[in-house]
Every structure is written in C-alpha cells, then in structure tokens.
Amino acid sequence: MRWIVKVGICGFARSQDMVFANLRLLEVQTTFYKPMKKSTAEKWRMRAPKDFEFSLKAWQLITHEPTSPTYRKAKLDASEMGRCGFFRPTDKVFEAWEITNEIRKALDAKIIVFQCPASFRESEENINNMRDFFHSLDNRGNIKMIWEQRGDWNKNTIGKLCAELDLIHCVDPFAGDPVTSAGFAYFRLHGSPPGKRMYRYTYTEDDLKELYEKCLNFSEVYVLFNNDTMYEDALRFMKMT
C-alpha cells in the first residue's frame, strides 16, 4: 500500500509565490473569519500549480457563538447574532454553509475543517444540532469533513458521532490520537507539545521524528503546521517524508 503524506501550513505565512513554489498544501484561514469573494478564490486556484491542494476552514458562523472574539472580523449586525454558531439549524448557519461550500468549489478543495471552540462541549443540544446540520447537507460527494473538537467530549461519543455523520476526527498529534482512523488522518499542529507554549513553539528535530512515527500509523496523512514558524517547520518535515 502506498503511503501518502501531504504537508502544508494554515494560512499564507509567506507570499503566495513562495508558498506555491515550495509547498503543495494550504489550509485557507480567511474563510473562518470572513470568506473572501468567490472571484478571489478562483484567482488563487488559477495561480497555484495544478498539483497544489487547498483545504479550508468553515466559516465561524457555523461553529462559534457570537461571543467569540474572532467575530470582530465578521461585521454582523445585532439582529443576526442570535442565529449563529454551534451548528444551530437556522437560516444564518445554513447560509454560512452555502458560502463556505461555494468557496470550496472555487478552490477545488476536497476538505473542509469544522473547528469548534472549547466552549462547544458535549451536550444533548449540541449533539442534536450537529446531527441536524450534517444530515441536512446534500451532495457531499467525495468531500472530507474534518471535525476538530476542542471542548470536553467523551471519546466514545466522538467516535459514534463521526461514524454516524461521516466525519473525520482532527487532532494535534502531540496532544492526543484521533478517534477515527480508516487509514486517513488530518493533523493540525499548534506548536504545543506537552509543556510548551502554543503557536510560539518551533518543533525540534526530535519532535519531527516523533511526528513522522505517528504518521506511519495511517496510509494517508495531512499534516498542517499552525505555529509561528509553520513555514520553516513544514519545509523541514517535508524533507523527512
């Protein structure tokens, strides 16, 4: 069986020219805060090499409540706030999904990341909202939907929900192991091995060797660096794979 490892970064940590020339994977971050125009996404796709792959984060209106400080960039009016976040089955949440999916199509992306805040905890309401949301999505096709859960959830619950809703459990591999496997993994590395500060940490050679060993447990792995030195760390890890 062929082993596939795709290494990239979360957002343009360097110029587009540098990223397109030296990497082959980028997780788009602007779609989380406030999606760019479809025409902008189409320009990115045209500028990128044919073998360059985009993934993207779903708009925060789907996953985060308006109390999140990241909403400052969304610029919504007060009447819209109560209908956003936590996968609520509202017109605003489904509108946010449609916009996210349009950008995905423009980028020709096959992966969407649903990153949830720590405040999105295991509860009957949140579970039912997730079920209503994902069961309502038509024509998912070959799109891989990634769920990065940061709140306090039981692993059995995560596993059952992912199986029912056809989701892939995303983790930082230095913080834990994904509940789902089926040969595929999507890792987001936030610069936080145990005892280290998030984002500001630069991975050591030993860290990268440990990461390499973790990747061997899967037939296909996406490795996305999301720390201050993500670009340099991604290039260093690419040399190992």
Q: What backbone phi and psi angles, to 5 degrees, belong to 151?
A: -80, -175
> CB count, 10 Å around CB of 151?
13
> CB count, 10 Å around CB of 239?
8
* Cβ pair 48, 34 in contact under 8 A: no
Which of 37, 139, 123 lies closest to 88 in space, CA to CA?
Answer: 123
Q: What is the CATH number of the domain that holds 143?
A: 3.20.20.410
Q: What is the pLDDT of residue 78?
A: 60
Angle between helices 205-215 and 230-238 (to 10 degrees): 60
Condensed to tens digits (0 to 9), the pLDDT of residues 59-92 reads: 999 999 988 887 777 666 666 667 899 999 999 9
Provide the token pair at 30: 């602007």
Provide the token pair at 215: 């990747």
Cross-sheet strand order for the sheet of 4-10: 168-170, 144-148, 111-115, 53-57, 25-28, 4-10, 220-225, 184-189
Which of 191, 188, 199 lies closest to 222 in space, CA to CA?
Answer: 188
Q: What is the pLDDT of residue 70?
A: 79
Q: What is the pLDDT of residue 191?
A: 87
The residue whose two tokens read 């946010």 is 96
d(CA 112, CA 233): 23
Q: What is the pLDDT of residue 159?
A: 96
The residue whose two tokens read 């630069």 is 202
> CB count, 10 Å around CB of 154?
10
Q: What is the pLDDT of residue 183?
A: 92
In the chain, which residues have pLDDT < 70?
1, 74-81, 193-197
The residue whose two tokens read 């996404």 is 41
d(CA 211, CA 190): 13
> CB count, 10 Å around CB of 16?
13
* Residues spanned by the domain of 173: 4-238
Q: What is the pLDDT of residue 81?
A: 67
Provide the token pair at 156: 């059995």
The number of distinct structural domains making up the chain is: 1
Q: What is the pLDDT of residue 141?
A: 82
